Chain A
C-alpha cells in the first residue's frame, strides 16, 4: 500500500479533545444522544457506566460474554459453559418499510448482537410496549415477521411481556428483545483484538437500511427500489468461524461488529480506539449500491455513516482473510463480502481513508446526527 500517514501538528490537539473523558454536560436528553455517535458514547460511558458498572459492561461490546460453571452438590464441576447475553430496543419509524419491519428488525438485531460475539444464538425474550389504538392487524403482521425471522435464524422466542400505554405515551409499538447464546471454545472475539496487518472485511453493501428508512418516511417523495438489508447473520458468522478454523484457527477472527447506527465509519472508529490501532480503508473498495449512492448524494449523507441491519465488519488475521471472504461469498448474506482495508500501527485510534480521488482523510465518529429513528 501507499506511504504511511503522517499526522499533522493538529493531530495531537484534536486527539486530546477526542479522547477526553466522556462527560455528560447536557441538562436534558436530545435526539443526538440516540444517534449512535459521539453524544451517545458520552451518555453511555459518562453516565450509565457511572451507575451501572460491571467488569463485563465496561468492555462495551454488543453483548456480554461470560462463563458459567455448573457445580453439583458433591462438588463435582463440569467444564465451564461460555454464554453470550444481550438486549436491544426497537423504535423504528415507520414500523413497516421495504425489506422488513420492526418485528424482523427486533429478532435480527438481537440475533446479530449475539452472533457478533461469536455466539450461537438460542433463546430470545420479547417485550412489547403498545400504544392505545394500535391496530391488531398491524400487530399480527409484526408477529408474523418475528416468527419468520426467528425460524430463519433458528432461535426461539421463549418469554415475553406486554404493556399498553395511553395514546401518545408511545409511538404505535416499541419492542425490546433480549437473547442468550453459547460461545464455542477457541472463539475469542473482541474489539480490542485488532492487530497490525489484520484485514478489514465488510460483508456487503453499506448504507442500505438507513437510506431505506429515510426514503420510507416519505418526506422526500423519492421513488427507489432500495430495500433494507435487515437479516440474521448468525449462519454467516458460523461459516466464517469454520472457514477461519480450517485455514488457521477460529481465534484468527479478531473482531466482529455489525455496523448499525453510525454506520461503518463509527464501528471502525470503535475498533480503532478499542485496539489502539490505525484502520486504513480504501474508498474505492467499500461496496455501495448505485441507488444508495444516488439517494445519499441527494440527502447529503455519506453512506459510510448510514445504518446497516444485515451487514458485519470483521477484522481477521491476514492468513485467513482470503478463506473467510471466499466462504462468506457463498452465503446469501455475504455475497458482496470483500476486504476494504487493513490495520496499521500509527496513528493510533483513528480511521483513515484513501479517497478514490487520490487524497487522504480521516473518517471520524459521527457527531450529533439528526436522523430519524432507524431501528
Chain B
C-alpha cells in the first residue's frame, strides 16, 4: 500500500540499525513520549533491531493510561444518569475506575456508545433532542482541536442537549514535570508526531535549550521511529542538543494555526490536572472557557469529583517515568492482566505494560535488561 509499505521495509531497517550501532558504544536511554510510538515499537519488534547499548523508555504519552481513577468514576456517574447518552472512544470503555468501568455501566443499563469522532456525538445529540448527549473528551493536543471544532459547531447550530466532559491534557507541562523529576535519567527524546502536527516543534525547544537533551519528532511507521532513534543517537554522540524534525511530511515548526486557534477559542488551562501515576501537574489540563459553559458536562451535571488514590499495588507512576520496567511491578502478569487490568498501563494497547504483556514475551530486550 502506498505511503505505508515504504515505511515498513525490513531491508532499510536492517541498514539503519547497523548505522545506529556504528554511531556509539555508549549506553543511551531514549524515551519515546507517545503511546503511539510504544505501540509501533512493539508491534514491529523494533527493539529487536536496536543495538544492545540503546534502551527505549516508554513514556507517559498514552492519554488513556494517564486518566485518573476519579475522572473515570465521574464519567460512569454521568453515564448512569437517566436520559443520558454517553459517548466515548473505544479504548476508554474498559479503563477501570475505582470500582467498575464504562463497559460494565453499559451492561447494567447505561446508554454508552462508542464513537470515532466528537462530531458523531454531536450528530447523535441532534438525532435525539429529548436526550442529553455527553462526549468524554480526552487526549493531548492531537484530539483537542476536533473537540473544540465540535463545540463551536454545536454553538453555531444552537444544540442544547450536547456537552463535553473535558479531560484534554497538554504535553509540554508533562514533559517539564518529567525533566524536573530527580529520579529521571534520560539521554534524549523521541517527540510525539501527532501532537506536533498541531503544536509544531517549537514548543519542545526548551528541552534542548534548558535541559540539554536531544529531541527528534517522529512519525509512527516503524522506519520513522528507527530513523528518529538514529537522529537522537547522532546528536548525543556529536554532543548536540536540538529539536530535529523527522516527521517533516506532516509537522512544521509552528504547527497548525487553525487547529491552535480552535483550541485557544474554546479551552483554557486548568490550574492543576491530575495524571494517573504522575500526580498533579500545573497547567497540564484544559477546560472549557466560561463562554462555552453551556457545553461543559462538569457544570451541567453534578459529578462526584472525588480524588481517588491510585491502587497501592500498582506502580504505573514509576513505569510511566521509565524508572521501573513493567515486569518489575509486583502485580504485572499476576493480578494485573489485560483482561483484568489494575493499572491503566495495562488497558490500552499503547500502555507500556500491555505492550510488554502482549508482545514482550520473546523480546531480547527484556532478557537483556532483566
List residues of chain A with CB under 8 Å of any chain B CB: 5-11, 13-17, 25-32, 38-39, 42, 219-220, 290, 293-294, 297, 347, 350, 352, 355-362, 364, 367-368, 370
- Asked if B103 is at the interface (CB within 8 A of a chain A CB), the reply is yes
Q: How far is the CA of A28 from the CA of B115 in the complex (A)?
A: 23
Q: Are B42 and A361 interface neighbours, CB within 8 A?
A: yes
Choice from B9, B94, B120, B370 contacting A9 with Cβ under 8 Å: B370
When A and B form their complex, which 10 residue pairs have the shortest distance between CB atoms, in order from nearest? Answer: A359-B45, A8-B366, A358-B10, A13-B333, A357-B44, A359-B48, A361-B359, A367-B338, A9-B370, A30-B107
- Interface residue B367 (Cβ < 8 Å from any Cβ of A): yes
Q: Which of B1, B222, B364 contacts A357 (CB 8 A)?
A: B222
Question: Interface on chain B toward A: helix, strand, loop, or mixed SS?
Answer: helix
A274 to nearest B CB, angstroms? 19
Bound: A358/B49 CA distance, A: 7
A362 and B362 contact, CB distance less than 8 A: yes
Residues of B at the A interface (CB closer than 8 Å) are 1, 4, 8-10, 13-14, 42-49, 90, 93-94, 103-104, 106-108, 114-116, 120, 222, 327, 332-334, 337-340, 356-364, 366-367, 370
CA distance A367 to B336 in the complex (A): 14
Q: Is the CB of B103 within 8 A of A30?
A: yes
Are A294 and B1 closer than 8 Å at their CB atoms?
yes
Report yes or no: A39 in contact with B46, Cβ–Cβ below 8 A: no
- Give B366's nearest chain A residue, CB to CB: A8
Q: A5-B362, A10-B327 are in contact. Are A357 and B334 (CB under 8 A)?
A: no
B361–A39 touching, CB < 8 Å: no
Q: Considering the chains assembled together, what is the distance between the CA atoms of A325 and B330 in angstroms?
A: 48
Known: A13-B334, A350-B361, A362-B362. A6 touches B47 (CB 8 A): no
Contact check, A370 vs B90: say whether CB atoms are below 8 A apart. Answer: yes
Chain A residues whose C-beta falls within 8 Å of the C-beta of B222 in the assembled complex = 357
- Do A6 and B10 touch across chains, with their CB atoms under 8 A apart? no
Select one of B44, B49, B333 contacting A14, CB under 8 A.
B333
Secondary structure dominating the interface of A: loop
For residue A32, which residues in chain B have a CB less than 8 angstroms away from its CB? Answer: 94, 103
CB distance from B305 to the nearest CB of A (A): 26
Bound-complex Cα distance A8 to B361 (A)? 5
Contact B1 A359 (CB under 8 A): no
Task: Give Cα A5–Cα B356 distance, bound, in whole angstroms.
Answer: 16
Knowing A360-B362, A361-B362 are in contact, say whether A17-B337 is a contact too (CB < 8 A): yes
Q: In the complex, how many angstroms separate the beta carbon of B338 from the nearest chain A beta carbon?
A: 4
Q: Max chain B CB contacts within 10 Å: which of A25, A42, A358, A362?
A: A358
Q: How far is the CB of A148 from chain B (nearest CB, A)?
A: 34
* CB of B16, distance to nearest CB on chain A (Å): 10
**A352 neighbours in B (Cβ, 8 Å):** 362
Q: How far is the CB of A20 from chain B (nearest CB, A)?
A: 9
Taking A17-B334, A362-B359 as given, write out 18 further A-B residue pairs in contact, using a Cβ cutoff of 8 Å, ordered by the A residue number. Answer: A5-B362, A8-B364, A10-B363, A11-B362, A13-B332, A17-B333, A26-B104, A28-B104, A30-B103, A30-B104, A31-B103, A42-B339, A219-B120, A293-B4, A359-B49, A360-B363, A362-B361, A362-B362
Q: B186 CB to closest chain A CB, in angstroms?
A: 23
Q: Which residues of B contact A25 (CB under 8 A)?
A: 340
Determine the distance from Cα of A358 to Cα of B43 in the docked complex, in whole angstroms. Answer: 11
